[in-house]
């Protein structure tokens, strides 16, 4: 069975200057499949990404993962855009005001839906 997948792109900028760029295909875990199926069936209630989580665990992700390893930091997604070809981009930024993220060595990312059913996870 082919699994859904996505692409994680990270850009670290100071003002207009790009300091670091990273891109890698991510893992869509089993916990996200019910939300995806509901969306494909036309049920949009509670099945959309509302937050991103940053975790510190270094264990490789598996399709059975359901959360992030602590310490973790969660932030609401600022906005999103769709390209009309089946891709969506979620936009957010971590700034100095995100004090809960300080001291975390970010090793994992995950998207969370209103119902916490839609999760995609990536490890560097």
E strand or H helix at 73, and its extent? strand 72-76
Predicted pLDDT at 124 = 42
| pTM (two decimals) | 0.74
- 10-residue mean pLDDT series, the chain (124 residues): 84 90 90 83 80 88 87 89 86 87 88 56 44
Predicted pLDDT at 114 = 65
What lies within 8 Å, CB to CB, of 25 at 6+ separation is 5, 6, 7, 8
Distance CA 49, CA 37 (A): 14
- Using alpha carbons, select from 26, 39, 38, 106 the residue that is nearest to residue 65: 26
């Amino acid at each position: 069975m082919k699994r859904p997948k996505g692409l994680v792109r990270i850009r670290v900028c100071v003002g207009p200057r790009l300091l670091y760029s990273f891109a890698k295909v991510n893992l869509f875990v089993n916990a996200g499949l019910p939300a995806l199926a509901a969306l494909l069936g036309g049920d949009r209630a509670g099945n959309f990404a509302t937050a991103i989580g940053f975790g510190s665990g270094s264990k490789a992700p598996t399709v059975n993962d359901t959360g992030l390893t602590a310490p973790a930091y969660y932030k609401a997604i600022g906005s999103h855009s769709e390209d009309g070809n089946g891709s969506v981009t979620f936009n957010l930024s971590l700034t100095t005001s995100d004090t809960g993220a300080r001291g975390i060595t970010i090793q994992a990312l995950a998207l969370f839906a209103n119902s916490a059913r839609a999760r995609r996870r990536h490890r560097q």
